[in-house]
A and B are shown apart, each in its own frame.
Chain A
Amino acid sequence: MDNLIDLASILRSKNAGPLNVTFDIIFSDKETFNRVKNSKIINKKLISELYKVDEEDIFILEFGVVNAIKITIPRKLTSGDIRDTDIYGCQQHGPLLTIKIP
């Protein structure tokens, strides 16, 4: 088992507009990308549990050109809401750091 964060060369979150937050997990080689992809660990059920959002609102896509997996979820609060904790959405990847890949 390896930590996802150790396998990824880029692992980041960022607003995609004020209503969504998007995560990019990019690997430096095809082999690692395929290993993570084929493990099927990163799926809607897992993201739903980690981020407490409905599976139907989760968007997961592989972008093979750069060995990337992309996840987008709706923000719980619109960016800048008085209770918002992360206006730019760039520190929302914490829960992804717990993922382990066989």
Chain B
Amino acid sequence: MKIVSLSGIIGYGYTEEGLKNALKQKIDIIGSDGGSSDPGPYYLGSGKSFTERNAVKRDLELALPEAIKRNIPFIVGTAGGAGGEPHLKWAREIYEEVAREQRLNFKMALIHCEIDKDYLKNKLREGKIKSFGNNPPLTEKDIEESIRIVGQIGVDPFINALKNGAQVILAGRACDTAIFASSAIKAGYEPGLAYHMAKIIECGAMCTIPLSASDVMVAEINKDNFILEPPNSLRKCTVERVAAHTLYEQVNPYYIYEPDGIVDLRKSEFKQLTDRSVKVSGSKFIAGDKKTIKIEGVKLAGYRTISICGVRDMLMIKDIKKILEDVKVKVEENLGNRVSSNDYSIIFRKYGIDAVEGEIEVLKDLPHEVGIVVDVVGKTQEIANVVCSITRANLLHFDYSGRKATAGNIAFPYSPSDIPVGPVYNFNIYHLVEVEDLSETSKIEFVEVGT
């Protein structure tokens, strides 16, 4: 069985050459991941995608007609970047538009992955929700406060959709591996090999030289092994790259955790087959005694306004930590009774000093220039705007001790100087739910597209 991964994330692009060469082979499944939690909580909270509509459409326009024409199932998971209801709706409209424009007809399974709050509260009361590591235990308040909660589905709902004749599957939040492993597991291949193969190709051609998350990857799964060979002749797979990709974003490279068990990679072997292909064998699946679904939820943290500026004056830079603390005090005085200090937070991000590493920064030499992001989060957008404007004005004119540049302390690259960013969200749920049935957190809806 041969499985194509179009791109690291649909909308990140792929080469036409990669797709063309892949389709010269007998392909059984075309899939792509559609999202990630990496870009942070904003997208799940706001219902927006971090991928661009036109870019997603381009990636569909080339591959979807080829899949339909050849009767190859086309599978995308974590639709719309975060896999909630608005994301699924957004992605569905793009599929329907492409179908209309290219006169395609197909049966599509939409897998809804948002989780009902009452269902979770019941699970919580039954003691079926667990934390990861040091994450605090989930509370009913967390569930109440959450704006949107999704559950990462495994292979089961995908297999159900395939069994019911779906030509296209568009799923909400899903394990990356489930997109590519489901058809192989359904066909009876060793789940350990299927999951391991899926884990490597879900990022597109990230396991090749030169690596790219924006190109097509092909894997062939067999009874005792799987073979990886990039279809784009520019690239090749090496043992080092493939094994290194097994490490990527994983806590432990010897195990892959799936909703229905773990994949043990301790006996996995990686062999260079040709100079462009690698054969992997020995990966074993161990069924878990409990079935679990990972859930993600976000709550509103406030509204943000930022101002970007730079400091070039060494007299200021040498005391910048204290100066910025003093500015915060001034701002609080200025705001007086108008805005309570409980309703906003001010963060000065000092690029050039410690903005990236924070307190763990090991290099203490001061630079000659510091970039500052004045970062204000308020209870409302109005509060964030007013606090940012007062902070920016105080920072500009603050009369610190030893000051000689009395005309102004900061250089603004922009007018207007303040940028309202909008709502800010936090992940407040990142837990595991024990389930009886791995399909119970999701719902499949079948629709006929194009007729």
- Asked if chains A and B come from one complex, the reply is yes
A interface, CB within 8 angstroms of B: 10, 14-20, 22, 24, 26, 28, 50-52, 57, 59, 61, 63, 65-66, 68, 70, 72, 74, 76, 78-88, 91-92, 94-95, 98
> In the complex the two chains form, is B38's CB within 8 Å of A74's CB?
no
- A81 with B248, Cβ < 8 A, contacts A17-B37, A87-B40 known: no
Chain B residue at minimal CB-CB distance from A65: B243
> In the complex the two chains form, is A92's CB within 8 Å of B42's CB?
no
- Residues 23-38 of B, flagged 1 when their CB comes within 8 A of A and 0 if not, give 0000000000000011
- A50 with B360, Cβ < 8 A, contacts A68-B247, A78-B427, A79-B40 known: yes
Number of B interface residues at 8 Å Cβ cutoff, please give it. Answer: 47
> In the complex the two chains form, is A94's CB within 8 Å of B247's CB?
no
> In the complex the two chains form, is A82's CB within 8 Å of B345's CB?
yes
Q: Which has the most chain B C-beta neighbours within 10 Å: A57, A80, A82?
A: A80
Instruction: Answer yes or no: B402 CB below 8 A from chain A CBs.
Output: no
> In the complex the two chains form, is A19's CB within 8 Å of B132's CB?
yes
| B344-380 interface with A by 8 A CB criterion | 345, 347, 349, 355-363, 375, 377
> In the complex the two chains form, is B360's CB within 8 Å of A95's CB?
yes
Instruction: Answer yes or no: B240 CB below 8 A from chain A CBs.
Output: yes
B interface, CB within 8 angstroms of A: 37-42, 132-135, 239-240, 243-244, 246-254, 268, 270, 301-302, 304, 345, 347, 349, 355-363, 375, 377, 424-427, 430
The 9 closest A-B pairs by CB, nearest first: A80-B40, A66-B243, A80-B41, A87-B40, A65-B243, A72-B251, A16-B251, A63-B253, A82-B377
23 A–B pairs (Cβ distance < 8 Å), ordered by A: A16-B251, A17-B37, A18-B430, A20-B133, A28-B240, A61-B252, A61-B253, A63-B247, A63-B253, A65-B268, A66-B246, A72-B251, A72-B252, A76-B358, A78-B427, A78-B430, A81-B426, A82-B345, A82-B424, A87-B39, A88-B39, A94-B362, A95-B360
> Once the chains are docked, how many angstroms separate the CA of A51 from the CA of B38?
21
> In the complex the two chains form, is B240's CB within 8 Å of A66's CB?
yes
Neighbouring A residues of B356 by C-beta, 8 Å: 85-86, 91, 94
Chain B residue at minimal CB-CB distance from A20: B251
> Once the chains are docked, how many angstroms separate the CA of A15 from the CA of B427?
14
Neighbouring A residues of B132 by C-beta, 8 Å: 17, 19
> In the complex the two chains form, is B244's CB within 8 Å of A26's CB?
yes
Neighbouring A residues of B247 by C-beta, 8 Å: 24, 26, 63, 66, 68, 70
> Once the chains are docked, how many angstroms separate the CA of A38 from the CA of B345?
47
Neighbouring B residues of A24 by C-beta, 8 Å: 244, 247-248
Neighbouring B residues of A87 by C-beta, 8 Å: 38-40
- A57 with B362, Cβ < 8 A, contacts A18-B37, A80-B426 known: no
- A19 with B250, Cβ < 8 A, contacts A24-B244, A80-B425, A85-B357 known: no
Additional 9 contacts, C-beta under 8 A, given A82-B375, A94-B360:
A16-B250, A20-B251, A24-B247, A61-B253, A66-B240, A70-B253, A74-B133, A82-B345, A94-B363
> In the complex the two chains form, is A15's CB within 8 Å of B357's CB?
no
> Once the chains are docked, how many angstroms separate the CA of A81 from the CA of B268?
37
- A88 with B38, Cβ < 8 A, contacts A70-B253, A72-B251 known: yes
Neighbouring A residues of B302 by C-beta, 8 Å: 82
Neighbouring A residues of B239 by C-beta, 8 Å: 66
> Once the chains are docked, how many angstroms separate the CA of A92 from the CA of B302?
26
**B426 in complex: contacting residue of A57, A74, A78, CB < 8 Å:** A78
Chain A residue at minimal CB-CB distance from B356: A91
Neighbouring B residues of A19 by C-beta, 8 Å: 132-135, 430
A86 shortest CB reach to chain B, Å: 6
Q: Which has the most chain B C-beta neighbours within 10 Å: A15, A66, A70?
A: A66
> In the complex the two chains form, is A94's CB within 8 Å of B361's CB?
yes
> Once the chains are docked, how many angstroms separate the CA of A49 from the CA of B411?
37
Neighbouring A residues of B243 by C-beta, 8 Å: 63, 65-66
Chain B residue at minimal CB-CB distance from A93: B357
B47 shortest CB reach to chain A, Å: 16
B9 shortest CB reach to chain A, Å: 13
**A22 in complex: contacting residue of B135, B251, B304, B347, CB < 8 Å:** B251
